Amino acid sequence: MKHVRVRAALAATSALVLAGCSLAGGGDGGTTAAESSTSPGEPGGTVVLATHESFHLPEKLVKAFEEESGYTLEVRAAGDAGTLATKLSLTADNPIADAAFGIDNTFASRPLDEGAFAELTSSVTPPAEYALPEGGDRLTPIDSASVCVNVDTSWFDAEGLAPPRTLADLTDPAYADLLVTPGASTSSPGMAFLLATVAEYGDDWPDYWSDLMANGAKIVDGWEDAYYGDFTAAAKNGTRPIVVSYDSSPAFTVKGGRTTTAALLDTCFRQVEYAGVLAGAENPQGAQALVDWLLSDEVQSALPESMYVFPVMPGATIPDDWATFAPQPTDPYEVSPEEISADREQWLTEWTDVISR
């Protein structure tokens, strides 16, 4: 009997201790954002941004936005761009947020078709070259990043071999077993690379991929596998000096005033990320203010350091390393969002067949 009492006391004590650690008991874990939202028509309150997991902006900028506009910003970032697009499409009638950022040109048509976005009333107009051919009134471009083939220039220097320059070069036996790329079915840069080959070779792209595979191309799951797992300039035991990465990547391999890698600017596909106000948002004014803020010079200039992407507004400044070591492609490959949306499944099926052979 005594034991029972001792144990009961012990259990009670540990329960109290645990309650202290719990999220529910801690107090600061929970927020009551939904309740503090104000009714439409009246400025202020909370504005909720749905975005993908790569979203990030400096705390200082967010504070400044909240002070100037009177809104409280709540960011809900989870999943990749495809997940975000699916979420927004599925919840088009009862949106999970007020605004969304991070839908790119490869995924834009799906949520647009589902009616997830409301018309924008922006006072700011980004350059026309980034605008969507259809749905430009609902989604505004925020940033761009091009997916390009990157080469480890120091590896090629050491080998005394001239690095490749074009997509066609990659099937040259001189570069056999040197390329690693993330898969198109599992990674967004992988998909962009597939689109670049579709844009270059048209309906013959599966032949190009057969040649690429015959030349020893290696396909891995994600960008991080390719870059940190196989690329000679970044991986410990890397064996592949050619990798599919971004145009900005060379700015991150700077040693002693020069970069050891280069992006091949003739192999690029440009991804543009868009933002918009969600249809049926609880706080549409706040959402519009948020979208305008994303286009402000302060945020645009912070994009490279925070999210590794280039700003779209001409007034933004970019870091010195980027200006010096990460030139952007002038004439990237293009495939229209409608075409991507219509043919994505067929391309991916064919692509999987080609690489599984």
> What is the contact mask toward another protein in residues 2 to 31, using x (rule: CB under 8 A)?
-xx-xx--x-------x--xxxx-x--xxx
The reply on whether position 154 binds another protein by CB under 8 A is: no
Q: Based on the shown chain and the rule CB under 8 A, indicate whether residue 218 belongs to the binding site for another protein.
A: yes
Cα separation values, 335 from 106, 135, 173, 305, Å: 9, 16, 29, 28
Is 186 or 210 the residue whose CB approaches another protein more closely? 186
- 66-96: buried (b, 16+ CB within 10 Å) or exposed (e) per residue? eeebebbbbeeeeebbbebbbbbbebbeebe
Q: Looking at 61, 64, 75, 168, which residue binds another protein (CB under 8 A)?
A: 75
Q: How far apart are the first and last CA of the chain?
A: 71
Site string for another protein, 312-341 (x = CB under 8 A): ------------------------------
Binding of residue 90 to another protein (CB under 8 A): yes
Ramachandran region, residue 19 (left: φ > 0; alpha: ψ -120 to 50; beta: rest):
alpha
**Binding string, residues 167-206; x marks residues near another protein by CB under 8 A:** ----------------x-xx----x---------------
Q: How many residues bind another protein (CB under 8 A)?
A: 78
Among 42, 119, 331, 345, binds another protein (CB under 8 A): 345
DSSP 182: E
User: Which x/- pattern over 31-50 shows residues binding another protein (rule: CB under 8 A)?
Assistant: x-xx----------------
Could you tell me if 88 and 259 are in contact, meaning their C-beta atoms sit under 8 angstroms apart?
A: no
- Scanning residues 105 to 144, which ones bind another protein (CB under 8 A)? 110
- In the complex, the smallest distance separating the C-beta of residue 82 from another protein, rounded to whole angstroms, is 4
Q: Which is nearer to another protein, 126 or 190 (CB)?
A: 190
Q: Does 356 bind another protein (CB under 8 A)?
A: yes
Token pair of 74, please? Answer: 């709540």
| Min CB(92)–another protein separation in Å | 10
The Cα 267–Cα 244 span in angstroms is: 10
Q: Which of residues 235-254 bind another protein (CB under 8 A)?
A: 235-240, 245-246, 248-249, 252
C-alpha 104: how far from chain center: 8
Q: Which helix (H) or strand (E) holds 80?
A: none
Residue from 162, 152, 165, 180 nearest 259 by CA: 152
The reply to whether 293 sits near another protein by the rule CB under 8 A is: no
Identify the CA nearest to 274 among candidates 61, 116, 39. Answer: 116
